[in-house]
Chains A and B, each alone.
Chain A
């Protein structure tokens, strides 16, 4: 029962976790906008989400020989971080493009809120399904 609930929310949870990691990456880029030789980083969100969900399905299964055993939770593996290609080069070797980073940050935070909304809807749908008939 509980693992059904978990798997119903698994995808949203993973998407949210990845969004949060991306948020952190972008915040790091913005924080280092003036650090010499800093290279801006980012990752391909859809690819990482695909990988995370594939891992979830095809992961190693632990034998549960007791009702109290918990299923193995796959820890989020290291992300495939990539370097941004700068549109203009700077003399100090820094590749942070502030406009781009801020646009991406805004985009990511809106999508994060959208993910939360989907998760909320999912939860209220499940809750409704659990209500006794009236």
Chain B
């Protein structure tokens, strides 16, 4: 049934936006992780959205890939730190907490909008099922 594809479209957006929120949460949580499993400071990650094409050029959205941010790492002067280099600087993750917060808010608003679309579609679908009962 064609009308169910609205639920697919909005559902794909919910998946994609929640993945974006996950990535933002991971970035926020690791804003101060100066050593990961490979000994390198954490690198901020970002999702890339891509349109899923269906008939008529209408379709949902999916996460194409998760890329690592190329922003330069933050360097802090902490000579007493065990991970400091010769000049006394510690390389911190390149996470921008303000940008992550904004990203998080934007993702949650988009998520809400899509939930609303799903709810409206569900109401219409239920109404459609009662055609001719009156």
Report which A residues bind B (CB closer than 8 A). Answer: 16, 20-21, 23-25, 27-28, 30-36, 38, 41, 78-79, 81, 98, 102, 105-106, 109, 112-113, 116, 119-121, 123-124
Contact = CB atoms under 8 A, between A and B. Distances in A.
Given A102-B113, A113-B124, A79 B56 contact: yes
Interface of B: 2-3, 5-6, 9-10, 12-13, 17, 20, 48-51, 56-61, 106-107, 110, 113-114, 116-117, 120-121, 123-124, 127-128, 131-134
Contacts of A27: 6, 9-10, 117, 121
Contacts, number: 93
B51 A30 contact: no
B114 to A, nearest CB: 6
Contact of A41 (B2, B57, B117): B57
A20 B2 contact: yes
25 contacts: A16-B128, A20-B3, A23-B3, A23-B6, A24-B5, A24-B9, A25-B58, A27-B9, A28-B58, A30-B10, A30-B13, A31-B114, A33-B110, A34-B20, A35-B50, A41-B57, A41-B58, A79-B56, A81-B56, A105-B117, A109-B124, A112-B124, A116-B131, A119-B131, A121-B134
**Secondary structure of the B side of the interface?**
helix
A102 B114 CA distance: 10
Nearest to A38: B51
A109 B6 CA distance: 13
